[in-house]
Structure formats: structure tokens, C-alpha cells
Amino acid sequence: EAQVTQNPRYLITVTGKKLTVTCSQNMNHEYMSWYRQDPGLGLRQIYYSMNVEVTDKGDVPEGYKVSRKEKRNFPLILESPSPNQTSLYFCASSSSGRPYNEQFFGPGTRLTVL
Amino acid sequence: EDKVVQSPLSLVVHEGDTVTLNCSYEVTNFRSLLWYKQEKKAPTFLFMLTSSGIEKKSGRLSSILDKKELFSILNITATQTGDSAVYLCARLMNRDDKIIFGKGTRLHILP
């Protein structure tokens, strides 16, 4: 089944404790992206990647890192999480090296930073 | 600023009504506009619009883009309770591959 998976689905952590949220897709998509969704603010793009070893900042990259060492994986790293990073995070992917086409979204990761 | 503005923010109608959701954006040099539906989970794709004046249709949903006036509308006819969701629009630019979303319109259909 074609899908985007994220792990963990739920995470409660404390300020400053490094964490990684994994994202994997099995559709051989070139484009992958991370978003955060907050009430009243909608979906905001954190980072995106056009292909392996190519990453770019979205609208809200501060406090996040990403890497794209393999085509299928695009982990989101919070080196020193803070409470303002409490949010619902979505990973998404699409084909053809551009987000021209439908983006497939993962199920979301709900992160709480205490 | 590369803003995407959706209106209304919230809408409550009765089943069977027709609704029109609006999405406007502030910049030219624009590649395409996307519509998504989000229920209590991840967004699901509805339409991608790249050309002005060409309507895209899927069942009771349709959408059109006006590149001159910088807006798009999403129409839903004969609404059903299953149409209750947040509808998101997003724009893609020519200069980069960033995606900017609007804040969404929360639609609630009363039975």
C-alpha cells in the first residue's frame, strides 16, 4: 500500500531533550516536506527536500533540522525542543521532483514539549 | 508578503445548501494553487489549478482559478454532513518549491 509513515505518532518530552521524528514513504517520491499545524495558524512548511541531499527552508525552519540521505526517508530533528514547538507535525511527499502533483500526507505526530 | 488568505474562516450551513469557499493570494509569478480537505486527520488532496478560467470538477465539488484577480473558489453543491471539514488552499511559486497554506475554512454541515 502506497503510504507515508511517521513515528512516533504521539510524543511528550521535556525542554532541551533532543528528539527525532521519522518519516518514510514507499512511493519513490522525490519531493518530501515537513509541516507543523497550530490552531488558528494553519499548516506551515518547516523544511522541504527536492531530492537526496537537497534540502531547503520553508517558512518556519528555526529550531529544526532535517536530512535526506536516502530517497525514502526524511527525518525531522529537534536538537533542543522548546514548548513553542508543541504542535501537530505532518510529513508529506509527492512525485516528479516538484510538488506539482498531489502531496500524500502522513498520519501526523502530535508533539508536546513540557 | 506571500500570504494566502481564506474566507470565511468558519461556515455553518444546512445539508443540501451550496457553499462557496474563497482563497486569495498576494503575489504574481505563481505556479499553481492546491485545495485540500482535512477532517480529523491528515489533509487529502482535492484539486490542483494552474490555468485561469478552467474549472476542475469532482462530483459535487468544483474549483476555478482567476490569475488576474489572484483568487480561487471552491464550490460544493448539495452539501452533505460528510463534507464537514477544514478546507485548505495552498499556493506554489515559480521561483522556489515552497508551499504556503492559508489558515483554512472550517465548514460544518447541519443535518
Confidence of residue A101 (pLDDT cuts 50, 70, 90): low
- Find, in chain A, the residue whose alpha carbon is nearest to that of B49: A100
Q: Any idea what the Cα angle at residue A8 is, between residues B43 and A73, rounded to 5°? A: 75
Name every chain B residue with its beta carbon within 8 A of the beta carbon of A102. Answer: 45, 48
The string of DSSP codes covering B9-67 is SEEEEETT--EEEEEEE--SSEEEEEEEEESSSS-EEEEEE-STT--EEETTEEEEEET
**Chain-wide mean pLDDT for chain B?**
91
pLDDT in tens, A50-76: 889 999 999 999 999 999 999 999 999
Q: What is the pLDDT of residue B54?
A: 87
Q: Which residue do the cell numbers 482535512 mark?
A: B38
Q: What is the pLDDT of residue A100?
A: 61
Q: Would the CB atoms of B97 and A59 count as touching at under 8 Å?
A: no
CA–CA gap between residue A78 and residue A21 (Å, rounded)? 8
- Whether the CB-CB separation of B7 and B73 falls below 8 Å is answered with no
pLDDT in tens, B35-75: 999 998 899 999 999 888 889 999 999 999 988 888 999 99
- Whether the CB-CB separation of A66 and A34 falls below 8 Å is answered with yes
Q: Would the CB atoms of B48 and A105 count as touching at under 8 Å?
A: no
Q: What is the pLDDT of residue A99?
A: 56
Residue A23 CB: number of other CB atoms within 10 A?
24
CA–CA gap between residue A17 and residue B91 (Å, rounded)? 35
Spatial CA neighbour of A55 closest among A66, A45, A64: A66
**Chain-wide mean pLDDT for chain A?**
93
